């Protein structure tokens, strides 16, 4: 029996699973559209966006993470900056310690500079892994999104999605 390989798989992260640090963030809904909103304030907040992916202990099976997307609206004032970093964290065995890696990513052409990311607009930012990675059963993958707001910047985070090849 052979493998089933789907090269166009994706998984959305539920906004309610995102953890925030500094600033006031709240889930809101308007016309059945849910967003995670940051109240206007001059602060720098880091959000942990988990990428919930099927792992597999067998080599070259499970999710082969290729890219991820983040959607947000910046509607009141330009941000100072917004950046994303992908992390993978190997879960330790008994008595071990966690190891964190930062696979290299590149931003899409519409977001590859601070000036393109911080503008007032509807954004869909795609980050592509330079070298895609297999997610195994002992690996956590997440994005840290750093949002550096000006005093009147208000952000609405709409969605985050992982894009991968699924091999089972």
Structure confidence at residue 94 (pLDDT): 84
The DSSP-derived string for 24-84 is -EEEEEETTEEEEEE-S-S-EEEEEEEE-----SSTT-EEEEEEEEEEEEE-SS--SEEEE
The span from the CA of 99 to the CA of 76, in Å, is 39
**For residue range 36-65, what is the model confidence (pLDDT) as tens digits?**
999 999 999 999 999 999 988 888 899 999
CATH class of this structure's domain 5-167: mainly beta
The span from the CA of 113 to the CA of 129, in Å, is 17
**For residue range 89-148, what is the model confidence (pLDDT) as tens digits?**
988 888 888 889 999 999 999 999 999 999 999 999 999 999 999 998 888 999 999 999
The span from the CA of 28 to the CA of 38, in Å, is 10
Where does 75-163 have alpha helices with state H? 114-117
């Amino acid at each position: 029996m052979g493998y089933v390989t789907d090269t166009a798989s994706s998984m959305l992260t539920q906004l309610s699973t995102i953890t925030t640090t500094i600033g006031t963030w709240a889930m809101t809904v308007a016309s059945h559209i849910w967003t995670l909103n940051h109240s206007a304030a001059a602060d720098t907040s880091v959000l942990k966006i988990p990428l919930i992916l099927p792992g597999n202990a067998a080599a070259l099976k499970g999710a082969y993470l290729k890219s991820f997307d983040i959607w947000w609206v910046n509607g009141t004032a330009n941000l100072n900056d917004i950046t994303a970093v992908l992390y993978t964290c190997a879960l330790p065995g008994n008595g071990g310690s966690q190891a964190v890696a930062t696979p290299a990513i590149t931003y899409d052409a519409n977001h590859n500079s601070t000036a393109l990311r911080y503008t007032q607009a509807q954004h869909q930012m795609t980050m592509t892994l330079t070298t895609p990675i297999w997610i195994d059963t002992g690996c956590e993958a997440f994005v840290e999104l750093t949002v550096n707001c000006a005093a009147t910047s208000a952000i609405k985070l709409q969605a985050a999605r992982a894009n991968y090849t699924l091999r089972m």
